[in-house]
Amino acid sequence: MAFQYFVPHYLSAAIYQNALNWTIIIGIFTLVVGIGSLISLHYDKIARRKEHWPYSVVTMVALALMTVIGLWSPDAIQNPRGLFMHLYFFVLAPVTATMFALLAFFIASAAYRAFRARTVLATLLLLSAVIVMLGRVPIGEYMTGWLPEGLRFSDIARFILDYPNTAAKRAIYIGVGLGVAATSLKIILGVERTWLGGGQ
């Protein structure tokens, strides 16, 4: 697949196409295996009456119901008035969204407790964060709008994002690109075998 990138021959393109199609189909089964693992885990909890096992009953019932509702009707995922869509918009969506919304509280608490200007580097990080936090919201413009152009929070934040931030992320991406290339080569050449799991 790495070699075909450089070979425009129609046979190379045909192999490329089929390999891509096959990968997607195999991938679907892999995702189903993941769901199977979830069922196995919760079934085990219920069967052995482990701690909090009643909640596993909730999970299994919800899974079964949602699957039946989703697979029963051929247009379950397209009908905006159907039960499947209602369960998605009024059960799955709000809970998922709220779980991530909790992070706002946690980041505030973490910033209060852990964000300390102990060293010069930590202070630099802190200053950069504060400038960007104020410079990228309207209140920053209110606070420093009276300053000449170039000295306002918004201008300094822009400078930080366009230049030092770009330099830092570029260095990281070059490292990531080289790392991905090295790991891909190791997998292809059989040097990297951790994906095989334990045993022979």
Partner 1 sequence: MAKSSFWQKVIDIDRRWIYLVIGIVTFVPILKYIGMPVAVTSEVKAVYDMIESLPPGSIVMVPMEFDPATAAELEPMSRAVLRHCFSRNLKVISTAFMIDGVVLIERDLREIAAEYGKEYGQDYVYLGYKPYMQIVLLNMGENFRKPFPRDYYGARLDELPMMFGVNNYSNISCIVNINATSGADYWINYASGRYGAKLALGVTAVMATDYYAFLQSGQIFGLIGGLKGAAEYEKLIGRNKDVANRSMDAVSVAHVFIILFIVIGNIAFFVTGRQKRL
Partner 2 sequence: MQEVTFGTVLWMTSAAFLTICIFSFLYRDNPLYRFAEHLVVGVSAGYWIAILYHTSLTDLWIEPLGASISAFGQPGGSFVAKFGALVLNILPGLIGLLMFSRFFAKTSWISRWPIAFYLGVSAGVALPLFLQSFVVRQVAANMVNPADIFGTMAADLTILFNYGNSTLLFWQGFGELIIVVGCICGLAYFYFSAEHKGIMGGAAKVGIWILMIGFGATFGYTVMSRISLLIGRFNYLISWVSAIGDFLRI
In a 10 Å sphere around its CB, with 0-12 CB exposed, 13-18 middle and 19+ buried, how is residue 59 labelled? middle
The whole-angstrom separation of Cα 56 and Cα 61 is 9
Amino acid at 155: D
136 binds partner 1 (CB under 8 A): yes
Contact mark string toward partner 2, 8..47, x via CB under 8 A: ----------xxxxxxxxxxxxxxxx-xx-xxx-------
Q: Which is nearer to partner 2, 143 or 161 (CB)?
A: 161
Please report the DSSP string for 19-74 in residue order: HHHHHHHHHHHHHHHHHHHHHHHHHHHHHTT-TTHHHHHHHHHHHHHHHHHHHHST
The whole-angstrom separation of Cα 81 and Cα 102 is 30
Q: Which does residue 112 touch among partner 2, partner 1, none (CB within 5 to 8 A, set by kind)?
A: partner 1
Contact with partner 2 (CB under 8 A) among 89, 142, 145, 191: 89
**Which residues of the shown chain bind partner 1 in the complex (CB under 8 A)?**
5, 13, 16-17, 20-21, 23-24, 27-28, 31, 77-78, 80, 85, 88-89, 92-94, 96-97, 99-101, 104-105, 107-109, 111-113, 115-117, 126, 130, 133-134, 136-142, 154, 158, 161-162, 165-166, 169-170, 173
